Structure 1
Amino acid sequence: MATRAYAGTNVACNDEGYMTNLEEWTQQVGEEIAKEEEVEMTPKHWEVISFLQDQYRAEVPLTIRKIGKSGVTNIKEFYQLFPNGPLKKASRIAGIPKPVSCI
């Protein structure tokens, strides 16, 4: 397990760079991870991030299809918000582990 510094805070991450403790996440941490992922955050991005965190806390397995049916965003917009691996990128920015549905 590795530790990375974001926004002046050390956070625990796994070997793939996903945070292992959501309690260490802040919006500033998420913003810095988004910069690494080359994602310019907007209010819509934060809405999706909040949804992902809520689902994670509720122990609901995440899939792109489930996000598309959530009413928060549709699948096409999800891919536009987080190009090239939307669920992986969004999960990393949200400070949650990579979903099992991601390869």
Structure 2
Amino acid sequence: MPITVAGKSIETDEEGYLASRTDWSEEVAKEMAKVDNCELSQNHWEVINFLREYYEEYQIAPAVRVLTKAIGKKLGPDKGNSKYLYELFPYGPAKQACKYAGLPKPTGCV
């Protein structure tokens, strides 16, 4: 099901993940979030940008446990916990944040 951003149609899979990572932009992320009735705050962007950097380094989208631990190391224990991440991404921190970051669905996510 494609989404439309700035008049351009962007292909996504049946779960809303980008068909091509090269289509990602902040505007695309905002549109995806709007579909989920989510407005992206600075805290959301910290996680999204962290995920994009993580993917660039490891070529894999982290599962939620790995994400939580890695966020804690980089952004501090107040942000590296499940409660905080689920408040930001109620549909699942790894799944929802990776989708907004233009990354593939994390391994092990249903």
Q: TM-score range by the shorter chain?
A: 0.7 to 0.9
- Greater strand share, structure number: 1
Give unpaired runs (5+ residues) of structure 2. none
Range with greater deviation from structure 2 (6-15 or 26-35): 6-15
Indicate the residue corresponding to 1:42 in structure 2: 41
TM-score, length of structure 2 as denominator length:
0.80
Distance 1:10 1:57 in 2: 25
Quote the Cα distance in structure 1 between the aligned partners of 2:10 and 2:34.
16
Q: Which has the larger radius of gyration?
A: 2
Aligned to 1:4: 3
Q: Percent identity?
A: 36
Structure-2 residue corresponding to 1:97:
104
Separation (CA, whole Å) in 1 of partners of 2:11 and 2:47 = 23
* Higher helix content, 1 or 2: 2
Question: What pairs up with 1:52-67 in 2 under 5 angstroms?
Answer: 52-58=51-57, 59-67=59-67
CA RMSD of aligned residues (A): 1.7
Matches of 1:9 and 1:88, distance apart in 2: 24
TM-score, normalised via structure 1 length: 0.85
**Aligned AA for 1:38?**
N
- Report how many residues are paired: 102
CA distance in 1, matches of 2:32, 2:6: 10
